[in-house]
Amino acid sequence: MQGLTTSRVSYGRGAHLTSFCPSGMNPALLWIGARGSPHLHAQFQKRCDRGCVRRQRIQLRPSLCIRAQVPKEDNQTSPELSSTKDVEGEVKRVDMVPAAKPSKLRYGLITGLAGAGVLETAYLTWMKLYGGPVSCPLGGTGCDDVLNSEYGTVFGVPLSLVGMLAYGTVTLLAGRMAINPMERAIEEEGLVKWLLLASTTAMGIASTYFMYILNVKLDGASCTYCVGSAILSVTLLLCTLVGFSPKDLRKVAGVQLAAGVSVALVLSVAFNDIESAALRSGDIDLPPISPEVTHVSSSREIALAKQLKAIGAKMYGAFWCSHCFEQKQMFGKEAMKYLDYVECYPEGYRTGVQIAKECDAVNIQGFPTWIINGQQYSGEQDFAKLVELSGLDTSKVPQ
């Protein structure tokens, strides 16, 4: 750019301001922040040559163009020069207060943790919507029981799907900050911090409420995914709070309180409807009528049923359980004659009825439940899994 004087002032990593002034004009930088002087800035602006081209970066105000001082021996005077002498005197020292730089490491950590939450809740959502047993990392039947309980949905939407959307929101917000260039990250951090705070606060409060449901309403059911999600949510909240100063934390207390109260009210309304429905169902009286199994068994399915019976395996179910019926359909009506099936409500289901003693003795918590070689397997099992557990050699079974 001909006829222009260029000035570039570097500040920290990536922070700089470049100004272009006409020849014979010296650039002067001015920081106008929370503690700056808008009045002084206005004075400078009035004296700035209109031909000055400026480019602003981060939080630095545009530079000012000041006429270069003419050597004394020239004895030349200029109205513009005399009008800027007082400005030059005031712009001898420029204080630049840095904007706090976002922590890429912290946002990267938040992104990773929230991403893990997305994967967990996506898996649970898939199993909830499309059926199949949930594989509990620490064993037992609690995960599947909790997922399929009345508390597994909120307003008809799977709770895991709501969690997946929440984790996804945090992942996108934090991920954007983690990969953005520093200049852009500084510009956007103010809004992102508040959005992350609102999201993680709501998630932390919700997880606390779910732990109450798990331990009180569901009698302390074991659910590794539930506990893991609660730990993730609280950790995300703590990582977000680290980005706020003590002064800011006092200011955001109201936001956290509002988010917490809102979440608690929504969940209370949703789960109170569930409990009210449970109370209204006290008059239910279901006779022990099971749907008819119509599938015709193959030789492989009959062989598997015989093998399971031979090793003492049992399937525990209830006549009204849809997953139990689907498991029976997988075997077919001929194979079911060989399978050792235990009905846990042989007298039907009504108020006050107790589970069958044979089911209670082995602590059956959900249906269907398999006990194979002394180990419990909760939920509907696929054919290949049962073949593996039973030790059946399918190569010897005629097709």
Count of other CB atoms within 10 angstroms of residue 129: 10
Counting residues of the chain whose pLDDT is more than 90, the rounded percentage is 33
Pairing of strands 349-350, 153-154: unpaired
pLDDT reported for residue 266: 83
What number of CA atoms fall less than 13 Å from residue 128's CA on the CB side?
Answer: 24
> Span 245-259, mean pLDDT?
79
Domain ranges of the chain: 4-90, 104-282, 299-396
Q: Which of 16-25, 153-162, 173-182, 313-322 has the highest mean pLDDT?
A: 313-322
Q: Which of 11-25, 91-105, 264-278, 316-330 has the highest mean pLDDT?
A: 316-330
pLDDT at 375 over 80: yes
Count of other CB atoms within 10 angstroms of residue 279: 8
> Span 243-269, mean pLDDT?
80
Q: Please, which pLDDT band fits residue 8 given cuts at 50, 70 and 90?
A: very low
pLDDT reported for residue 102: 61
What's the Cα-to-Cα distance from 48 to each of 19, 64, 273, rounded to whole Å? Answer: 12, 6, 68
pLDDT in tens, 119-165: 999 999 998 888 767 777 766 556 877 887 778 888 888 899 999 99
pLDDT reported for residue 64: 45
Counting residues of the chain whose pLDDT is more than 70, the rounded percentage is 67
> Span 59-72, mean pLDDT?
44
> Span 279-305, mean pLDDT?
83
Distance CA 299, CA 334 (A): 10
Q: Please, which pLDDT band fits residue 251 given cuts at 50, 70 and 90?
A: confident
> Span 32-61, mean pLDDT?
40
DSSP letter at 226 equals H
Q: Please, which pLDDT band fits residue 181 given cuts at 50, 70 and 90?
A: low
Q: Please, which pLDDT band fits residue 2 given cuts at 50, 70 and 90?
A: very low
Q: Which of 92-96, 255-259, 282-286, 310-314 has the highest mean pLDDT?
A: 310-314
Q: Which of 78-87, 195-204, 213-222 has the highest mean pLDDT?
A: 195-204
Distance CA 385, CA 106 (A): 42
Fold designation for 299-396: Glutaredoxin (3.40.30)
CATH class of the domain comprising 104-282: mainly alpha
> Span 65-73, mean pLDDT?
46
pLDDT reported for residue 1: 44
Distance CA 238, CA 258 (A): 18
368 upstream amide cis, omega within 30 of 0: yes
> Span 97-122, mean pLDDT?
82
Cβ burial, residue 105 (10 Å; 0-12/13-18/19+): exposed
Alpha helices in 151-181 (DSSP H): 159-179
pLDDT at 344 over 90: yes
